[in-house]
Amino acid sequence: MSNVQGMSSPHSPLSDEGRVVSGKLANEDISIDLNLRPKRLSGFVGQEKVKENLKIAIAAAQKRQESLDHILLYGPPGLGKTTLAYIIAAEMGVNIKVSSGPAIERPGDLAAILTNLREGDILFLDEVHRLSRIVEEKLYPAMEDFGFDIFLGKGPAARSLRLNLPHFTLIGATTRFALLSPPLRDRFGAIYHLDFYDKSAIEMIL
């Protein structure tokens, strides 16, 4: 069963339908955690090059009135990949749904997540390098063509049916960039490396 957290960004025009399915944290704990995080790129300390590139990408997408390209964030743990995903959603004014590679065990789990997305939504997948091969391959057409293929029936009578998905942005996060398969890596339109904070940035955070 997939473990999915769907939440509206702080500035989303859509109603807050946030909920946690099979989550370990209570809603109150999640709310406290999110309230402590910066809500905008201007409040995010460090990672200046990444922030500048994201500002340009977000402005361009908003001008075109389109979704952002799929984004991959990689680097050591604890540098703000999850926080950046929420900030991107807030800057774009869209909803964000959260899951992780290990939580999506079967193609059906992925289908349940993708078919519940709305136009412009962001899907944040932590530990994206831990997707199983079969699930990862099902993700390819969703990222490329916003479609999901399902098979009906068995044997000679089996047929394929493509489900059309809303245009969404996948934000993948990983601490193990080298473990990502080249086909998955190549489907991200933007790849950003988060590096360790310098002393001045740490002092600002503290």
pLDDT digits (tens, 9 = 90+) for 76-87: 999 999 999 999
According to DSSP, the residues that pair with 136 across neighbouring strands are none
According to DSSP, the residues that pair with 124 across neighbouring strands are 98, 171
- Confidence (pLDDT) at 37: 80
The pTM assigned to this predicted structure is 0.80
d(CA 167, CA 149): 16
pLDDT digits (tens, 9 = 90+) for 27-36: 444 444 556 6
Domains in the chain: ranges and CATH: 5-205 (3.40.50.300)
Q: Tokens 């389109």 sit at which residue? A: 66
d(CA 179, CA 97): 24
